[in-house]
Amino acid sequence: MSPKHEKTIFFEALEIESPRAREAFVQGSCQGDPKLLDAVSRLLAEHDRADNPIDHPVVASLPTFDAVTQQVARSIEANHPPGTMVGPYKLMEQIGEGGCGLVFVADQQVPVRRRVALKIIKPGMETRQVIARFEAERQALAMMDHENIARVFDAGVTQTGQPYFVMELVRGVPLNEFCDNHRLDTRQRLELFLSICNAVQHAHQKGIIHRDLKPSNVLVTLQDGRPIAKVIDFGIVKAIGQSLTDKTIYTRLASMIGTPAYMSPEQAEMSNVDVDTRSDIYSLGVLLYELLTGSTPFVVGRLNSVGFDELRRIIREEEPPSPSTRLSTLGNQLSTTVSANRRLEPAKLTSLMRGDLDWIVMKAIDKDRARRYPSAIALAQDVSRFLEGQPVEARPPSTLYRFSKFARRNKVALTTVSLVAGALVLGTVVSLWQARVAYHAMEQARIAAAAAKSSNAELEGFTDRLRRANTLIASGRAYADAGDWSNANEAFTNATQTQPRYFHAWMERGSLYAKMGLWEMAASDYRKALELGSPVDGVQFLGVPQLFDYVGDHAKYEQLAKDLAQSSSGSLGTILRGQLVDQPSAEVSAQLAVLGEQLLEERRLRPDGRPTRTSRIPRGPKLYVAGWAHLRNGDIDRAIERLEESLDEATIWPASGINYPLLAIAYTQAGRSDDAAKAWTLAKQSRDQWLDQSIETQQGTPPIPWFDWIEFLMNYREASLRLTGELPPDDPRLDQLKSLARGAIANSAPDPLPSP
Burial of 533 (0-12, 13-18, 19+ CB in 10 A): exposed
Instruction: Give yes or no: 212 in active site.
Output: yes
CA dihedral 36, 37, 41, 43 (to 10 degrees): 10
Omega before 584 within 30 of 0, i.e. cis: no
Angle, alpha carbons 725-556-498 (nearest 5°):
130
> 3-class secondary structure for 35-83?
HHHHHHHHHHHHHHCCCCHHHCCCCCCCCCHHHHHHHHHHHHHHHCCCC
What gap in Å lies between CA 748 and CA 6, rounded to an integer? Answer: 86
Closest CA to 495 of 511, 508, 480, 513: 508
Q: Dihedral sign, CA of 57, 59, 64, 70?
A: negative
DSSP 117: E
Q: Which residues pair with 97 in a beta bridge?
A: 102
Q: Which residues pair with 108 in a beta bridge?
A: 89, 114
Residue 614 near residue 603, CB atoms below 8 Å: yes
The SS3 assignment for 156 reads strand
User: Distance from first CA to last CA of the chain, Å, rounded?
Assistant: 93
Q: Which amino acid type is present at position 56?
A: H
The SS3 assignment for 498 reads helix
Residue 18 — φ and ψ, nearest 5°?
-70, 125
Give, in order, the Cα–Cα distances in Å from 51 to each of 75, 163, 377, 395: 9, 18, 48, 59
What gap in Å lies between CA 582 and CA 283, rounded to an integer? Answer: 60
Q: Which of 180, 212, 366, 708 is catalytic?
A: 212
Catalytic residues: 212
